[in-house]
Structure 1
Amino acid sequence: MVEAEGGSEPRATRAPTIYDVAQAAGVAASTVSRTFARPGRVNSQTAERVRAAAAAIGYRANPVAQALSTARSRMIAVLVSDLANPIYAELLRGAQVAASAAGYGVLVEDTREDAATERETAERILPMVEGVLLTSSRMPDSAIRSIAKQRPVVVMNRGLADVPCVVADERRGARRAVEHLGEAGHRDLVYVAGPDASWPNGARWRAFSDACHELDISARRIGPFEPTFAGGFEAALALGGARASGVLVFNALMAVGVIRGLQQAGLRVPEDVSVVGFDDVLIGQIVSPALTTVSTPLQAMGATGLRNLLALVNGARSRGEPVVVPARLVVRESSGVVAARAG
């Protein structure tokens, strides 16, 4: 057993300290502290020797103490509109992998599709984090800009001037969906809208409407509906009087609800009504018939947003234009040709 200096507690019965590491590495305690808290301020050979000594005696840096000493928590907040929506699981996975690779943790908050809750949550957690990733924010532009003045912010699934954004190519995605239905002979289409406060909802409707106009296809809109299975099921009831041969639905959860609602009403998908959604998540792949959908690489999107946020945290200048992630149409069984419809 080794006695600590001055007759203090034997080292074998307590956790190693930076003073133990300093003695083992032959450096000052302040050098050990800088190695773990500010690694860029210690030359690489010395830092390697300190880390080797720390590993040899079982020393582990205290992340809370480091945060207090450096005013850096190495935590990023990710605010999501609805954790029950599977698109956020994909976005979060990409963001968490990117954060972990950079030595950061992720604090996730569900704001329940409510702008006031989102604003209150953001203000509450700002002191605990170095940056904020907003996914499908429901807050007004002014509120987002206010938060961006206090911490680095990146906005996902929403275009906003003066704040860094990562968005899907909504225009291209919606156009491909309309082209696909038009090529199958559909001339009367309906867009099933999600929340009015959703930026993608507005972008998708505009792209849908423009594409229909260019292709001489009748375009109507119903909604808004909740962006959930239940919201889609409710929309299916409203579609009963629309007499459309094809529908484009705000998201995959709603699209599955639309399919179930149409089936319960005695209509066949796609023989009577073709259904196309957005977001290629698992539920759309396992529903019968499997959902034709506009797909974006959600994990890659989450990782891109997180990496861009960390760049801002570390002093990078904001990009002037949004980062646009490509979208593609995945054709499955829920869409078909008009000729296959009964009657």
Structure 2
Amino acid sequence: MAPVREDARSGPRHVASVCHFCHDAAVPPPRRRATITDVAAAAGVAASTVSRAFTRPGRVNHATQARIMEVAAELGYAPNPAARALESGRTNTLALVVPDVTNPYFAGVIKGAERATATAGLTLVIADAQENPATEEQIVTRLGPAVDGFVLTASRLPDDALRRAAELNAVVLVNRAAPGLACIVSDFDTGARQIVDHLASLGHRALVYLGGPAESWSGARRWAGLRAAAQQAGMGATRFGPYTPTFASGPAAADAVLAAGATAVVAHNDILAIGVMTRLADRGVVVPDQVSVVGFDDIFGSDFCHPPLTTLAERTEDAGARAVETLVALGPAGRADRDVAPRVLPTQLVVRRSSGLAVS
């Protein structure tokens, strides 16, 4: 409540509270950002020389270059990115597009890409395609003139759309392959065999795969690997779905598994697998005593759920970093090349308590 001051003529009246520290302190005006002209004047050179010192340092005398950089640091000058882009034709900015920024799988890709971008002295912008191919294509079209290239992670775009994008910007794919485009992919064939061998060793004679989005390249590769490995091991393999790779899709997927009487389930990703386990627990089904559950990705938190999830780990940070390094090597003029070979990163099965002996 505001303090009350007694006035001899008019009686008590309220006075607004004032913070004397804030009231008395002088607020300094915002400092004007130093310009290239300021640096040139202080260094005793032409503005064009300052410009070359930042954009083409090899064309400036060593001593002059050092003096310009010293003065720029003292004045707090930094080149205007937009102006540099107009002059050089490069924005020094890369774009990373992911299908769902809330999916923990992509946190590793983002972290690796950000680290590699910073090392290269570039800026990274991140866009969320919302699991929608049309949205992804709009992002690529809209950001194209503003960036030097794209890292498209788990892209849902068809091959022809990816090639159109690569004709305008350098493009590198993560967990997606398309003819002629540089890509970083996980070894799902070996990983799928690890999963099947693990379940077979526990006595399971068949598995159900809960498939992800129909447009998911990695989902198709996972299923192809599981089906081939199961056939070699003499196991049955059935695919259900597609399911949205979210926790909310778990109940419907779990109900389908129970209706089929499956003893072993492999989910498209860990989030879906955790949603399945939650639904099974709600229905009184014990994991892994009655149903074994395996996921893909080894996301943060997959070892915190109950029971901890058996899952195929991928090198997501490594994938993000390698993708940016490849994009930088391509340069903004990178174009599709039919001789490009995918870079395959290893996978490893992490066995936890969600998988166990088959029901006899």
Q: Same fold (TM over 0.5)?
A: yes
State the 1:320 CA deviation: 1.6
**What's the counterpart of residue 320 of structure 1?**
340
Which letter maps to 1:259? M
5 Å matches for 1:127-138? 127-138=145-156
5 Å matches for 1:114-263? 114-263=132-281
Write the distance in 1 (CA, Å) between the matches of 2:180 and 2:306: 43
State the 1:220 CA deviation: 1.1
Which letter maps to 1:322? P
State the 1:28 CA deviation: 3.3
SS in 1 for 2:124: strand
- Cα 1:151/1:315, change in 2 over 3 Å: closer
Write the distance in 2 (CA, Å) between the matches of 1:120 and 1:256: 32
Cα pair 1:293 1:330 within 8 Å, conserved: yes
What TM-score do the two structures reach when normalised by structure 2? 0.86
Cα pair 1:233 1:254 within 8 Å, conserved: no
Write the distance in 1 (CA, Å) between the matches of 2:172 and 2:145: 17
SS in 2 for 1:283: coil
State the 1:256 CA deviation: 0.4
Write the distance in 2 (CA, Å) between the matches of 1:15 and 1:221: 60
Counterpart pick for 2:66 among 29, 44, 48: 48
Listed one character per residue, the Cα deviations across residues 164-203 of structure 1 (whole Å, up to 9, x for unaligned) are 1111111111110111111111112111111111001110
The answer on 1:22 being equivalent to 2:65 is no
Listed one character per residue, the Cα deviations across residues 198-240 of structure 1 (whole Å, up to 9, x for unaligned) are 0011100010000000011111111111111112221001001
The answer on 1:92 being equivalent to 2:80 is no
Listed one character per residue, the Cα deviations across residues 243-288 of structure 1 (whole Å, up to 9, x for unaligned) are 2211111101001011111112211111111111001112312110
What TM-score do the two structures reach when normalised by structure 1? 0.90
Counterpart pick for 2:79 among 51, 61, 77: 61
**What's the counterpart of residue 357 of structure 2?**
337
Cα pair 2:210 2:266 within 8 Å, conserved: yes
**What's the counterpart of residue 37 of structure 1?**
55
Write the distance in 2 (CA, Å) between the matches of 1:305 and 1:40: 29
Cα pair 1:164 1:321 within 8 Å, conserved: yes
State the 1:74 CA deviation: 1.1
SS in 1 for 2:121: coil
Write the distance in 2 (CA, Å) between the matches of 1:315 and 1:43: 30
The answer on 1:265 being equivalent to 2:289 is no
Q: Which moved more, 1:96-105 or 1:152-161?
A: 96-105
Write the distance in 1 (CA, Å) between the matches of 2:57 and 2:230: 57
Cα pair 2:90 2:332 within 8 Å, conserved: no
**What's the counterpart of residue 8 of structure 1?**
none
CA RMSD after TM alignment: 1.8
Write the distance in 2 (CA, Å) between the matches of 1:150 and 1:93: 26
Q: Which runs of 5+ in 2 are unaligned?
A: 1-30
Write the distance in 2 (CA, Å) between the matches of 1:137 and 1:24: 50
Write the distance in 2 (CA, Å) between the matches of 1:304 and 1:122: 20
State the 1:14 CA deviation: 4.8
Percent identity between the aligned chains?
43
State the 1:315 CA deviation: 6.0
Listed one character per residue, the Cα deviations across residues 126-169 of structure 1 (whole Å, up to 9, x for unaligned) are 11111011111111110000000000000111111101111111
Number of residues of Structure 1 aligned to a counterpart in Structure 2:
328
Cα pair 2:263 2:290 within 8 Å, conserved: yes
Write the distance in 1 (CA, Å) between the matches of 2:161 and 2:333: 23
State the 1:19 CA deviation: 3.4
Write the distance in 2 (CA, Å) between the matches of 1:124 and 1:178: 43
SS in 1 for 2:302: helix
State the 1:42 CA deviation: 3.7
Larger-Rg structure: 2
Which letter maps to 1:81? P
Cα pair 1:252 1:283 within 8 Å, conserved: no
Write the distance in 2 (CA, Å) between the matches of 1:130 and 1:118: 17
